[in-house]
Chain A
Amino acid sequence: MIAWIDTIVQGVLLGGLYALFAMGLSLMFGVMRLVNIAHGDFILLAAFAGMALVAGLGVSPGVALLVLMPLAFAFGYGLQRGVLNFALGRDILPPLLITFGLSIVIQNALLQIFSADTRSIQAGALVTASLHLGEGLAVGWLPLMIFVSAIAVALALQWLFGATRIGRAFRAAADDSEAAQLMGVDNRHIYALATAIAMVVVAIAGVFHGIRTTIAPTDGPALLLYAFEAVVIGGLGSFWGTFAGGVILGVAQSIGFRLDPGWGILVGHLAFLAVLLVKPNGLFPKTR
């Protein structure tokens, strides 16, 4: 019994990481209807950048993340303004092709710079420290921290979208970009801000991912898949839906791993397929 409770708890915590993966993707799709194929590679790029900062400058992962976040914001803004904005239009294919190309470029650049070795961000005692909850039940401080960060990110994004002028502009531009321009919204700027914010979330996700497990330059597509599944399970339109999607995926994988060490990823995919079959719009779609 306690073993199953442990399985669920670990799954929920793992889901926090998946939620972090997914929220950036959900944000970009929500505002621009832009499917970012390179999303997983951006997460890895952030993870490797974090690793380089920690290893090169000898700073702690927390400091590395604080350095990375503004860089990611600027990178996202420039990427959208300089590249992706030109691909947006009625046709959804150009942004798919461009981000697919970016994915290949990032993977190969990472291979060139960091080689194909797997490695991870050194975070000292944090990685193994845990909180004892009772007989046979303990949670690691790191997964707990990731989970709390994911909640904080979801809260922050929900607030940004729901209660601020810029958030209204995000939603208005998503509804009807032409009408939004007539209101004085500069779409190119708004889209760039959306990608910039998405990349900050990506930086957080990447650094945590790099601390939690080993990373290799070609892991990106797998991360994209998890992010995608979390978004689809949750249903588009709300960050809490995406968050819930991440948690469901995490729990499913965790249960799979408990059944057989080889089944974890598979059970995650099966849970995704089951949701797609029963509720194609996701579990918590926003209906308005």
Chain B
Amino acid sequence: MLATHNLTAFYGDFQALFGIDLQVDAGEIVSIIGANGAGKSTFLKTITGLLKAPRNAVRFEGRDIGGMPAHQIAQAGIAMVPEGRRLFASLSVEENLKMGAYTRRQGRFDLDAVYALLPVLKEKRTQPSTSLSGGQQQMAAIGRALLANPRLLICDEISLGLAPIVVKEIYEILGRIRKEGLTAIIVEQDVGMARLFSDRLYCFQEGRVSLSGRSDALSHEAISKAYFGV
């Protein structure tokens, strides 16, 4: 579904990605792990169009989308739950969710379906998004991304800063969507969670893929070696 080939990325003169080859097939959950500064967020920025990428370095459903503007990539069916949630502060919870549906892509998720999946959002729908707790904000961010009816869902650091019990709850919800054939990229700090929840795993290190393979087949030692580079 999504494939990158020799993907590079730059911030000005600084090169952040050095030829990433990564593939996500339909119905598959792929997780990306790596230390801070390994290039995970940069990688997500290039495939969502926030950062320039070479034209033919990113292929999504048979189209070259590298370097396309972010709003067109969203229209093509890639939705992101950004790191730090990034809900719109001056919008209510429901307005935030409606922003997710901005592209008017049709599919299984409408406002009612998201409220059925995440009932707490329905309770708080008229409140400002800033009044939600961290976990509720994360759910709102996930609901917002689902309303785009994405072909590919990207979750960037969704467990960051949340209590373990809340993280469990959020992954339980993602698990439910997964059964309906979700295709997703999960970027995680929590390596254990990343391994548990994904079919395949990529480890990034200093802008390169240092390890990849089936999540259940990779040993702890191999992962920690690829993670820390020692």
Contact = CB atoms under 8 A, between A and B. Distances in A.
B35 interface: no
Interface stretch (A42-50, A179-187, A219-227): A179-187
Nearest to A187: B71
Interface of A: 165, 168-169, 171-172, 174-176, 178-187, 237, 286, 288
B74 A171 contact: no
A176 B148 contact: no
A168 B74 CA distance: 17
Interface string B96-126: 0011101100000000000000000000000
Counting from the closest, the 7 A-B pairs by CB-CB distance are: A184-B103, A184-B74, A181-B70, A179-B86, A175-B88, A186-B71, A172-B88
Contacts of A286: 90
Most buried by B among A174, A178, A181: A181
B130 interface: yes
B64 interface: no
A288 B86 contact: no
A88 to B, nearest CB: 15
Contact of B90 (A165, A178, A181, A288): A288
Contacts of A175: 88-91
A175 B89 CA distance: 6
Contact of A183 (B50, B89, B103): B103
Interface string B71-94: 100110001101000101111000
B148 A172 contact: no
A33 B193 CA distance: 41
A171 B91 contact: yes
B19 interface: no
Given A168-B91, A168-B99, A175-B88, A183 B49 contact: no
B206 to A, nearest CB: 25
A157 to B, nearest CB: 15
A187 B103 CA distance: 13
B71 A184 contact: yes
B134 interface: no
Most buried by B among A174, A175, A182, A184: A182
B37 interface: no
B74 A176 contact: no
Nearest to A166: B102
Nearest to B100: A183
Contacts of A169: 99, 102
A182 B147 CA distance: 13
Contacts of B89: 175-176, 288
Contacts of B90: 171, 174-175, 237, 286, 288
Given A171-B90, A288-B90, A182 B48 contact: yes
Contacts of B74: 181-184
A186 B88 CA distance: 16
B95 A168 contact: yes
B179 to A, nearest CB: 26
Most buried by A among B71, B79, B103: B71
